[in-house]
Structure 1
Amino acid sequence: MKKLINDPRAVVNESVEGFGIAHADLVTVHPDPLFITRKDAPVQGKVGLVSGGGSGHEPLHAGFVGRGMLDAAVPGAVFTSPTPDQIIPATTAVNGGAGVLHIVKNYTGDVLNFETAAEMAEAEGVAVRSVLVNDDVAVEDSLYTAGRRGVGGTVFVERIAGAAAERGDDLDGVTAVAQRVVDSVRSMGVALAACTVPHAGVPSFDLAEDEIEIGIGIHGEPGRHRIAMEDADGITQRLLDPIVADLSLTSGDRTIVMVNGMGGTPASELYIMFRKVAQLLDGLSVTIERSLVGNYITALEMQGASLTILRVDQEMLELWDSPVHTAALRWGA
């Protein structure tokens, strides 16, 4: 294992400390228990947004803390859910009197710990709602979930719900917008090679040199098939087809598309994939209104990519385009 780390047990704390120093104009790091808030939290009268999960998926979630997205992010250990002891103070820290929305990826530990934290925060007088992100079409069940996993669609939920909160929507309104995004977004990923969790020191799964895993999870969970390596266009088609089918995309639909790197894939390869996605959707008379290409939800240094598609209406698009100012996503601000 070759990694730019010190003690494997200190990776998360040292990484978050460095993140806080690098982006001190945007965020505040709270070290014990560990969570990150936007610099101006709590924003009075605004719904607070809190998300989190295991570390190793950077820039998700801390990179999306700031104006127009999250008010707080709660990092667990690598690929491990954060604890209620972290989530509760993060929730109360961003409560500006309008309540707090939890955005939770559908992994068993995340679901249970955010539910516990919500109950405790409500006991302290904070109104809390939750939405569950379950956009991965690859499998119905995995090693970590009951039902579909929450993956790249989380970025879309955090962005659009964050914009709704920023414009002044109340808690029920922000929750409704977030749920609309959940209902309209789907993802699927592929792995070409495994990642290595620092404290484990060995790859999280094995793939032969000529094999790829279609439908891989962001923790290395098994996908739909393990197949021989194909060219980029063939792999992209394998990711796109189930998404199109699951969303029932038809002529005239408008979309936002994200081709996301898993941490170890060059940008040039991601753009080759995006090129094919654009060609295929154009053939269906489906419009790409906006796009993201790059690393937004990773799996350490896993070589691979994921495709996320959101069917948008005009309001979603306007919320997407509104100002956002975070470490990892920034425009109009």
Structure 2
Amino acid sequence: MKTKKLINDPKVIIEEMLEGIVAAHPKHVRQVEGAPRAVVALNGPRKGKVGLVIGGGSGHEPTFVGFVGKGLADACPIGNVFASPPPDPIYECAKAASGGAGVLFMYGNYAGDVMNFDMAAEMAGMDEIEVRTVLTTDDIASAPLDQKEKRRGVAGNFFIFKIAGAACDTMKPLDECERLARKANAHTYTMGVCLSPCSLPQTQKYSFELGPDEMEIGMGIHGEPGVAKGPIQTADAVTDAIMDKILGEMKPNKGDKVAVLVNSLGATPLMELYLLNRRVKQRLDQVGVSIHQTWVGNYCTSLEMAGASITLLHLDDELTGLLDHPCDCAMFRAG
């Protein structure tokens, strides 16, 4: 049985989506001329500023294209659903974002993205555009701590991109932008739970199976296996399982502060997200950690997948200042 989707021709779904995005946000983004899968911020790139290029597969909106705008990302190449963009649109984004001070590439740690962004970096180098790369690796369920470099980038992208975008927007040099992006990544912890699968537009069939009374902790945003599958539990029990893992790795001290993201994977409603957030605050109160700011909603989705993820950004004064820096993007605004 096919799933129900409001689509036209799956072969052109990305182009039609981008046409709709540009139509909805003409004051924030435009498509790069000659590169329809490349989007650039109207008020982002400028002379002397480090350019920030983020990107990856579609199907995770508002990640990635929704975070293009002044104060955050300067440009974004868009791939097919759950697939890396090819090198050409990434290269076009590097050129569009370049202000002569270098360009920072940031994306989730997936093999296809690494290969294609590296190829685009080589192409940009031939144009004498210096490119640095910072991979996001916030998904603590995807590899053990001693193999942290193998972890995936998931909803924590939101915090990591925000910090890097602020560093670039405040005209910091490339070395400093790279350092701050890496610091943000090292301070970001995410773990999710899946309740039901999603289906790709091309197949309209579920991409994996979960029983009617099952959930899976730690599943990735493309349906990658998690760490535990079992009977569905209460909101508090799920939150506790996730917070135990995050706090166990973060090891905060009493008096520390964090930023919180409670993210829907697509189908989970705000009512349920706020139940999770309620328990997150209770757990942080118990260990004496204060919350600087909280975001609840759709920030890194997986089409219509049901489930949620919780992200904590372990803050210090430097990261707090950058997190609070204003930005004005197609699908996100702050300050």
TM-score range, shorter-chain basis?
over 0.9
* Structure 1 residue matching 2:112: 3-state secondary structure: helix
Q: CA deviation at 1:41?
A: 5.0
Q: Give 2:26's aligned amino acid.
A: A
CA positional deviation for 1:32: 3.0
* Cα separation, 1, equivalents of 2:311 and 2:271: 18
Tell whether 2:234 aligns with 1:242. Answer: no
What per-residue deviation string (whole Å, max 9, x for no partner) do you get for residues 176-201 of structure 1?
11000011111001110000011122
1:172 aligned onto 2:188:
no
Structure 1 CA distance for aligned equivalents of residues 48 and 121 of structure 2: 19
Query: How far, CA to CA, are the matches of 1:264 and 1:74 in structure 2?
Result: 25
Find the counterpart in structure 2 of residue 220 from structure 1.
223
**1:238-277 maps to which residues of 2 (within 5 A)?**
238-277=241-280
Letter in 2 for 1:279: Q
Q: Deviations over 1:252-307 (max 9, x none)?
A: 22100100000101111101100000000110111111111000000001000001
Aligned counterpart, 2:57: 54
- In the alignment, structure 1 residue 68 sits paired with structure 2 residue 71: yes
Match of 1:203 in 2: 206
Question: Which residue matches 2:308?
Answer: 305
Q: Match of 1:25?
A: 27
User: Does 1:120 pair with 2:123?
Assistant: yes
> Aligned residue for 1:78?
81
Q: Secondary structure at the match of 2:49?
A: coil
The residue number in structure 2 matching 1:11 is 13
Paired position in structure 2 for 1:93: 96
User: What does residue 289 of structure 1 align with?
Assistant: 292
SS at match of 1:288: strand
Partner Cα separation in structure 1 for residue 84 and residue 249 of structure 2: 28
CA contact (8 A) 2:139 2:151 kept: yes
Which stretches of structure 1, 4 residues or more, deviate above 3 A after TM superposition? none
In the TM superposition, 1:32-43 aligns within 5 A as 32-40=35-43, 42-43=45-46
Q: Determine if contact 2:138/2:185 at 8 Å carries over to the other structure.
A: yes
- Do residues 2 (structure 1) and 4 (structure 2) align? yes
TM-superposed CA distance for 1:54, in Å, is 0.6
Residues 181-236 of structure 1 show CA distances to partners (whole Å, capped at 9, x for unaligned) of 01111100111000001112210110111000100100011100111010100011
Match of 1:137 in 2: 140
Is residue 108–residue 146 contact of structure 1 (8 Å, CA) maintained in 2?
A: no
The CA RMSD measured in Å over matched residues stands at 1.3
Cα distance between partner residues in 1 of 2:157 and 2:165: 12
Whole-angstrom distance in 2 between the partners of 1:65 and 1:146: 26
- Answer yes or no: is the 8 Å Cα contact 2:44–2:69 preserved in 1: no
SS of equivalent residue, structure 1 residue 212: strand
Deviations 1:25-70 (A, max 9, x none): 1101136351110013531111100011010000001100001100
Instruction: Look up the equivalent residue of 1:316 and give its one-letter code.
Output: L
- Percent of residue pairs bearing the same amino acid type: 45
CA distance in 1, matches of 2:172, 2:155: 24
User: Which residue is equivalent to 1:181?
Assistant: 184
How many positions carry a matched residue from both structures?
329
On the 8 A contact 2:263/2:296 being kept in 1, the answer is yes
Contact 2:103 2:131 in 1 (8 A): yes
Structure 2 unpaired stretches of 5+: none
Q: What TM-score results when the alignment is normalised by the length of structure 2?
A: 0.96
Q: Partners of 1:86 and 1:280 in 2: how far apart?
A: 43
The secondary structure found in structure 2 opposite 1:207 is coil
Query: Which runs of no fewer than 5 residues in structure 1 stay unpaired?
Result: none
Contact 1:33–1:85 (CA under 8 A) maintained in structure 2: no
Judged with a 3 Å threshold, the aligned counterparts in structure 2 of structure 1 residues 317 and 41 are, in CA distance, closer, same or farther, namely closer
How is 1:294-333 mapped onto 2 (pairs within 5 angstroms)? 294-332=297-335
Amino acid at match of 1:26: H
**Mapped partners of 2:288, 2:209: distance in 1:** 39
CA deviations 1:65-117 (Å, max 9, x no partner) are 00110001111000000111110111011101111000021000011111111
